[in-house]
Structure 1
Amino acid sequence: MAEHTQDSGPVTESMMDKITEKLHGHDSSSSSSDSDNEKSSPSPMKKPEVNRLFGRQKTLHEVLGGGKRADMLLWRNKKNSSVLLGGATSIWILFELLDYHLLSLLCHCLILALTILFVWSNASSFINKSPPRIPEVSIPEEPVIQFATALRFEINRVLAVLRDAATGRDLKKFLAVITSLWVLSIMGSCCNFLTLFFIGFVLLHTVPVFYEKYDDQVDKFAEKAMAEIKKQYAVFDAKVLSKIPKGPFKDKKRA
């Protein structure tokens, strides 16, 4: 009986070795087949690159300047953006549709506020309540300087564009400036400055959100439109602009 148990020990060990060898062989074959499948499986198709509008490389949030201003324009904070757009709409309705005037509005608001504060201050002794605390209101210097600096920068940039267009160095820029001014003159004849400013304000708070949501479709359409514009400009250049005689100043400059 003891001899039988001693003989069965090596037999069971050899059987266990064979089973483990088969298991290891199956795992290695399955892993190799998986790796072969991974190698043979085609790589995912890359999306075709789209030329972004105006050749931008940054995100739209960075293009708009980032920070709270970009968040406001892209409606990241819907409450603040809706309040701002609603306030601008109310001002336009008040001044344009109701034919109200800014000076009258300011005077009426000051009359109402001063009357309420005056009555409250004099009636506080009769109703046993503390008089209103009127804070000292003053305009801080830093925001005014920042606004003036930003406005100065934008005005200087517009003046630089107008100067470059007037020097005659870039015909495309000259035609673009003339076309833009012509479109603005047509819009100015159709509506006043307040309506024009309101339209620009509404577009500034709606177009970036629309573009951020459908940027791929807009970029593809803009790419096709720019290609067609370049094609038509090449035809116009060949038929018209190339036949215009050049002035003596350019001839001397080239010589």
Structure 2
Amino acid sequence: MPEGITTERLLNNIMETLTENVSKQKSVSFFEEEKSTSVNAQFNRLFGRQKPIHHLLGGGKSADVLLWRNKKISAGVLAGATAIWVLFEWLHYCFLSLLCFSLVIGMTTQFVWANGSGLLNSKRSPSKVPRLVLSDELFVNIAKTIGAEVKQALGFLQDVACEGNIKQFLVVVLSLCAAAMIGSYCNFLTVLYIGFVAAHTLPVLYEKYEDEVDSFVYNILGQLQHHYRKLDTGMLSKIPRGKFRGMKRE
């Protein structure tokens, strides 16, 4: 053994190298686990989704409103819808009476403005009342927007019915049945308001708690698949099917 190297120092060097190798292996395994969890979190999204919520909602101003990118605009839209629902549902206003009252208030305001300014300032000429001018393009754009949304919705339903994806088909059918059941207890305006509130709350909550919701839904789907397999092995697999095939061939 060379001079200056004792057995104690040699043992200390061996222990130091072992601890360094163990720490390196732990750090590598930690980073690999973190990378795998991030990859799983990236691809284990709800219904196989790989795009962000903002892109799925259209990626425009409507998506910004639904995801509360501008809180003042989103709160104003939701407050306006709530005010309309309260007027028609709680205060029992009908559309014709509300429209007539709004026109009366607008005409009264313009009448007072046009005649009162000349009486208060007799030396000055009466001020001109600004007129509300609606262009034809506004109504054309509204009609195009509504028509495009209806066309897209009908196209989506036809795609779901024709593509043969049984999971997506069942989800859409169950959603329509749930909407029909809700509509049997509420009127059309309340159903629209519930859908409007859900559209302004559920996407932003899902975007905030995305991982928790995805894991919860996948756990429920796993339990449903487990119960279906039990039902299939216990009851459905015992149902005879050969007789029906023979009858069809005959």
Say yes or no: TM over 0.5.
yes
Aligned ranges 1:1-255 → 2 under 5 Å: 42-43=27-28, 44=31, 45-46=33-34, 48=37, 49-50=40-41, 51-128=44-121, 129-139=126-136, 140=138, 141-161=140-160, 163-164=161-162, 175-237=170-232, 239-240=235-236, 243=239
| Alignment gaps of 5+ in structure 2 | 1-16
Q: Shift of residue 96 of structure 1?
A: 0.7
Q: Per-residue CA shift, 1:22-55, capped at 9, x if unaligned?
A: xxxxxxxxxxx9xx88966623341521311111
Cα pair 1:74 1:205 within 8 Å, conserved: yes
How big is the shift at 1:124? 3.3
In the aligned structure 1, how far is the partner of 2:171 from the partner of 2:141? 36
Mean CA deviation greater in 229-238 or 130-139? 229-238
Q: C-alpha displacement at 1:236, in angstroms?
A: 4.7
**Counterparts of 1:194 and 1:244 in 2: how far apart (Å)?**
49
Task: Supply the distance in 1 between the matched residues of 2:171 and 2:75 (Cα, whole angstroms).
Answer: 34
Distance 2:118 2:189 in 1: 46
Aligned residues: 212
Across the aligned residues of Structure 1 and Structure 2, the Cα RMSD in angstroms comes to 3.1
**What percentage of aligned pairs have identical amino acids?**
40
**Aligned-pair distance for 1:232?**
3.1
Tell me: CA distance 1:170–1:69, structure 2 relative to 1, closer, same or farther (3 Å): closer
Opposite residue 146 of structure 1, the aligned amino acid is T
TM-score scaled by structure 2?
A: 0.71
Cα distance in 2 for residues equivalent to 1:99 and 1:175: 38
CA contact (8 A) 1:124 1:131 kept: no
Compared with structure 1, are the counterparts of its residues 174 and 130 closer, same or farther at alpha carbon in structure 2 (3 Å cutoff)?
closer
| 1:183 shift after superposition | 2.2
**TM-score, normalization: structure 1?**
0.70
**Offset of residue 71 of structure 1:** 1.2
Residue number in structure 1 paired with 2:4: none
Q: Distance in 1 between matches of 2:240 and 2:58?
A: 42
Deviates more, 1:124-133 or 1:174-183: 174-183
- How far 1:145 moved relative to its partner? 1.5
- Structure 1 residues 174 and 219 mapped into 2: Cα distance closer, same or farther (>3 Å)? closer
